[in-house]
């Protein structure tokens, strides 16, 4: 799949924002007044900024409003509806903490649940697609949720919790890559199954499907060299988990250490998200491969 920058930004910073919202909804950290204002400002900046970035991948961003009407059948629509409700709930929750020194824990728990459901809905936009076997795996929603929760733990200044979550995230991300590498072959999709001619022999293309680039090739087919992919995976692993964990566990904790760990983590998430899209083989690509 073509790794569109807008979608990479969306899945990276929006997840980070809603992950931070989850911890704030649980009262971690327990902030009031101007400190609460700063925390909720950061959460809203990440969440809303990511959601706005996603609209730039639409042919006409103005039509984004219509996606809300399909919530009964579309995970994209459910994500939109849940995100708006979560942001409204957290607005009320934040007002209580900022202006009235009131926690309203039940409202916070509701907001935390909505934040997690929003991230889960985002993951299901991709996981539901059987035409992209690498995405169609149960581990993908787990990874999306872990990325959000561990990034939120970093923002909420929980060094030990964040370190443990990042270790688990890194291990599962490596496992996800290993499973994903086998998914297209395990799916059984071939030119033969697509045409129904696999029972009489091996199906091969005589000519290329198109002589020039087209929308399908631009959006659905993206070839990544194995060496390039492996290097990016190593960079992602180091930045997502190894460097932040070492910083959190070996250095005295301070705001500077946390910010450096967070910056490293975000760089790693961008790299892993690029791979998430670039390595996703859509089955339509089989039509363009003459092998």
- Return the DSSP state at 157: T
CA gap 165, 144 in Å, rounded: 13
Peptide bond into 29 cis (omega under 30): yes
Give the tens place of pLDDT for each residue, 236-275.
Answer: 999 999 999 999 999 998 999 999 999 999 999 999 999 9
**Which residue positions in the chain have pLDDT lower than 50?**
290-291
Q: What's the pTM value of the predicted model, to 2 decimals?
A: 0.88
CA gap 151, 216 in Å, rounded: 34
Residue 195 has a pLDDT of 59
Residue 290 has a pLDDT of 46
What are the boundaries of each domain within the chain?
1-128, 158-291
Give the tens place of pLDDT for each residue, 194-205.
Answer: 556 666 767 666
Residue 169 has a pLDDT of 98
CA gap 138, 155 in Å, rounded: 27
Phi and psi at residue 136, to the nearest 5°: -80, 60
CA atoms within a 13 Å half-sphere pointing along the CA-CB vector of 64? 13
Residue 83: name the closest of 42, 51, 38 by CA. 51
Residue 94 has a pLDDT of 98
Let me know how many helices (H) and strands (E) the chain has, helices first.
12, 0
């Amino acid at each position: 799949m073509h790794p569109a920058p807008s979608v990479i930004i969306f899945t990276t910073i929006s997840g980070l924002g809603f992950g931070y919202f989850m911890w704030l909804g649980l009262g971690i950290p327990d902030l009031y007044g101007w400190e609460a204002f700063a925390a909720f400002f950061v959460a809203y900046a990440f969440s809303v900024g990511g959601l706005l970035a996603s609209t730039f991948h639409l042919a006409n961003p103005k039509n984004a409003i219509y996606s809300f009407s399909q919530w009964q059948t579309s995970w994209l629509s459910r994500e939109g509806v849940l995100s708006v409700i979560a942001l409204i709930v957290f607005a009320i929750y934040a007002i209580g903490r900022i202006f009235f020194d009131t926690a309203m824990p039940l409202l916070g728990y509701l907001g935390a649940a909505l934040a997690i459901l929003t991230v889960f809905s985002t993951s299901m936009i991709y996981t539901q697609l059987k035409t992209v076997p690498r995405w169609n795996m149960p581990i993908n929603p787990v990874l999306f949720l872990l990325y959000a929760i561990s990034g939120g733990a970093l923002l909420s200044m929980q060094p030990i919790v964040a370190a443990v979550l990042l270790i688990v995230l890194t291990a599962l991300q490596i496992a996800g890559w290993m499973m994903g590498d086998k998914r297209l072959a395990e799916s059984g999709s071939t030119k033969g199954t697509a045409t129904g001619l696999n029972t009489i022999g091996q199906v091969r293309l005589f000519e290329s499907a198109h002589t020039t680039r087209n929308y399908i090739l631009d959006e659905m087919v993206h070839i990544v060299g194995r060496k390039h992919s492996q290097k990016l995976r190593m960079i992602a692993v180091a930045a997502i988990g190894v460097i932040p964990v070492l910083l959190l566990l070996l250095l005295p904790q301070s705001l500077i250490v946390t910010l450096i760990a967070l910056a490293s983590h975000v760089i790693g998430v961008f790299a892993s998200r690029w791979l998430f899209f670039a390595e996703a083989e859509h089955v339509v690509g089989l039509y363009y491969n003459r092998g």
